[in-house]
Amino acid sequence: MDDYQAVRDLLPAPPLSPEVERAGRERLNAAFAQQRVRHGRRAARWSAVGVGLAAAAAAVAIAVAPSVFPGAPATDHQVTGADGKGFLLVAAASVTAMPDAGAWWGSTEINGRQFHDPSGQYVLRMSESVETWIPADPEGRTWYRVMSQGIRPATPQDEAAWRADGSPTSWTYTTRSEAGHTGVVRSAPGERRTWSTEDWDFRILTAGRPLTKMSQVPDTPEGLKALFGGDDRTVIDTAARLLFFAPVTSRTRAAAYRLLASTPGVQAAGQVTDVLGRIGQAVEYESGEFAPPNYRGPTRTRLVIDPASGRPLSIEVRSAADGLLLTYTAIQDSRWADANPLKENE
């Protein structure tokens, strides 16, 4: 069976800084105003791959009411455009306002997994918080801190079924192999661990070609697609890894959003609430890239994005058969900084 490990402490998601949010909105407003002067209020055309970033983001804005970013939530049509994916172009314009200079790339992500109890009566959720600090200097050491939260029922309904089952704190599973080995999963959290390593390569890893310098990563959709290689599914998976995990420039992140918007197989899922309770816009696609080990059924991967800030929120893998959430990675925070708190506190 899979090795269900106890995981990390769930921290509240940090708010976007007012300076970054204001800068992103100012860039969007300027682009929107410019496009309105040139083209009036024509409908957006999302199929044009070669449209420039400012023009494409402005085209999205033709259908966007002024209250979308400062205030009340927008309708799906206002944010997403004709094919539902226009918010990716808004995110591309927004993310260019994010700072992309510093000595360290820091991120905090919540990794989780859901699975049924042995009797199939309720769903359990395992989660962990992983804080990572990657040096801009490729010769530096990468630092990690992992904090375990343990295992708990996934929803209030699951908690009620768990209580009816006697509120167990451990569960015994039997493998499907011929040997039929058993393993015990315990709810208690594990200890917090901090360590560093010398041999980490940036997580934009394509066809066995790790990139260890930001300057080596293209900042256009065409350049990224050529770098990634492979079929559309490979392009989508690799663009997702870049957006969520790699310490690249804001221009490269913008290019990845634009690439996702133009790649066949990416379908809009509308406004959703992610696993940490944050509201965003989502796209889905068929992929086994982020599926749990040994899971045999087909899966769909959902990418949840905050268009106003350009921040990626979460990657969620669900069963294609019944929509059950299987695994997820939620990004609580990611930023460039001049100092690494993990190194300083050792």
Would you state the pLDDT for residue 225? 94
Question: What proportion of the chain, given as a percentage, has pLDDT over 90?
Answer: 51
pLDDT tens digits, residue range 140-163?
Answer: 889 999 999 899 999 999 999 999
User: Residue 265: CB partners within 8 Å, gap ≥ 6?
Assistant: 232, 233, 236, 285, 286
Residue 115: name the closest of 81, 79, 154, 147 by CA.
154
Rounded CA separation 103/147 (Å): 24
Q: 3-state DSSP call for residue 264?
A: coil
Position 252 pLDDT exceeds 90: yes
Cα distances from 331 to residues 104, 106, 276, in angstroms, run 17, 11, 9
**Lowest-confidence region among 58-62, 79-83, 325-329:** 58-62
The answer to whether 154 and 123 have CB atoms below 8 angstroms apart is: yes
Rounded CA separation 283/81 (Å): 13
CA 108 to chain centre: 11
Quote the number of domains for the chain. 1
Q: Give the range of the structural domain holding residue 140, as residue numbers without chain letter.
A: 1-346
The answer to whether 128 and 111 have CB atoms below 8 angstroms apart is: yes
Rounded CA separation 32/34 (Å): 5
Rounded CA separation 93/335 (Å): 17
